[in-house]
Structure formats: C-alpha cells, structure tokens
Amino acid sequence: MSDQNSSQGVQYQQRIVAFLDILGFRDLVIRSESDQNAFNKVIDSIIKIKRIADVRPTGYDYHASTFSDNIAISAKIDVESLHYIFISIEALTTNLMQIGCLCRGSVVVGNLVHNENMVFGRGLVSAHDFENRLAKYPRIVLDDNIVDMVRQLTPEDTLGAMKRKLFRDFDGMYCMHYLNDLADIDINIPIKENPKLIVAYTTSYYMNKSIESCTSDPSAFEKYRYFSDYWRDAVDSPQALSGRGLIPEISIPQSLLDRRRRPFKTGID
C-alpha cells in the first residue's frame, strides 16, 4: 500500500499543549539496577503517567501521549479544555508526590498535530523548551496565552475560580498552582475519612524519604528545597498541619533554607 496519501487529513491545529517531566528519572533508572526501592518507584511512576494518558474524556478534543517519563497532553483552545488539562496535571502531580517523586512542566499554545498515532509540531517544541529552560523547579510554568485565557475570566463565569489555580512565582513566572486542592484541608474530619489529609500525610512522609536519599546531589536537593517552600506556603502554614501533629513536616536543614521567596499569593496581577 502506498504511503503517498498517508498525510491526508492530517494538519496543524492551534492547541493548548502541556508537557510534563518526572524529575530525577534518569538517575532513578540507573539506581534501579541495584536498588529494589528505586526499581519499584520507576514502575510506579510509569504506571501513573500511563493512567493519565489513557483517559479519554467524552466531550473534549483531548489527546495524551507518553514517552518514558514524559507526557504530552493537548486540547482545543477554550477555557473548558484548559480546565480539564489542569485537572489532569493535578492528578498526575498528586499521584507522583505520594511516592516521593517531583514533576515539572509547562502549558503553552502552539501548532500541533496530535492523534492516537503521532504528536509533533512547534507547540510541542515550545512546551518542551519552556519546561527545560524556564520551569527549572518542580513547577508548571505557563505562557502568556494561557495566563491571558484565565485573566479574562470573571467571578460570574462558571470557571472563574480557575484564577486561584495560578500564582506568580519569585522570578515573575506564572505557574499552575497544583497544590490548590490541598490548601483547604478540613482538619476536623478524621484522617480515615479525609482523602485530602491522607494525600498530605503520604506526600510528607515520602518526600522526606526522598530528601534523605538525595542530600549528596545539589541539583536534586535544590528541587526538593523549592518544593518544601511551596508546600509550606500553600499547604502547611494556612492550616498548621505539622504543628498539630497531623502530618510530618517536610524537613530541609535550616542552613539550606536561605533562598528568599516572594509572599505566596494565588491569582493574576
């Protein structure tokens, strides 16, 4: 059969494009050859990425593709689709946090071909470039197109609350607030009946384990230090969960907590 018409019907579309990467995955794979815990974490990470990619929501022009420890997600350009992509990213980051893994990524707008067989285009190149150059830390950076989509929402809009899912970081970059769902934990509900508190406890426990294992790696340690700051700003301080003994504190030696952060505040200036 001739391949001359194999591109028939395939064309670029302007799409929302998200690209996410599991941090430290290369070193984790190397360690997995001699460390069973590392091997288990590699398997768990890939399974969690695959679960997100396998979701096929009805009513959305939504595609997801995985490449080892990376996932690319795209959807048509509208607020509802952006909201669903944010939900997908929150699900992935939450799942990874609970095994002590960090994730960084980006959400941009650009030309893309994305279907069940292929994904390529400048949109993917831009998303990868944003993630690689600008994310740096375990955060999800957003391009101006995404920020503008959310900025135009009003409190009366059905998805107006999406503004709370954005924050401006210490270097001026707008980021997705993937810990937003954990910022309002009801501490009066017993932990066995409190899914958010279970997530917070599990995340704290396994993040501390990961920090203990990477103290000799300055690059990895800096990323966990960033997450510790973000966690304390977004989750720990408002409810004083650690102070009440409800979850373990994510502990970074005080000597390494000298980077100044701007006050944490969600929304858009």
Specify the residue for token string 């279970």.
198
Q: What is the pTM of this model?
A: 0.84
Q: Tell me, what's the pLDDT at 184?
A: 78
Boundaries of every domain in the chain: 13-180, 181-256
β pairing state of 103-114 and 140-142: parallel
Q: Taking a C-beta distance cutoff of 8 angstroms, is the pair 75, 81 a contact? A: yes
231: its two tokens: 């966690």
pLDDT tens across 160-189, in order?
A: 788 989 999 999 999 999 998 888 787 788
What pLDDT does 239 receive? Answer: 46
Select 13-180's CATH number: 3.20.20.10, 1.10.760.10, 3.40.50.10320, 3.30.70.1230.
3.30.70.1230
What are the angstrom distances between the C-alpha of 210 and each of 102, 164, 241?
Answer: 10, 29, 20
pLDDT digit of tens for each residue in the chain (269 aa)? 445 445 667 899 999 999 999 888 887 888 889 989 888 888 888 888 777 777 777 777 899 998 878 899 999 999 999 999 999 999 999 988 888 889 999 999 999 999 988 999 999 999 999 999 999 999 999 999 999 999 998 877 778 788 989 999 999 999 999 998 888 787 788 888 889 888 988 898 888 888 877 766 777 888 988 998 898 888 865 444 444 455 666 765 554 444 445 567 777 77
Q: Is 39 left (phi over 0), alpha (psi -120 to 50) or beta?
A: alpha
pLDDT of residue 76: 93
Let me know if 156 is exposed, middle or buried by CB neighbors in 10 A (0-12, 13-18, 19+): exposed
Six token digits for residue 43: 């398997």
Distances (CA, A) of 217 to 103, 176, 181, 191, 241: 17, 27, 30, 34, 29
Name the CA dihedral angle for 249, 250, 256, 258, rounded to a multiple of 10 degrees: -70
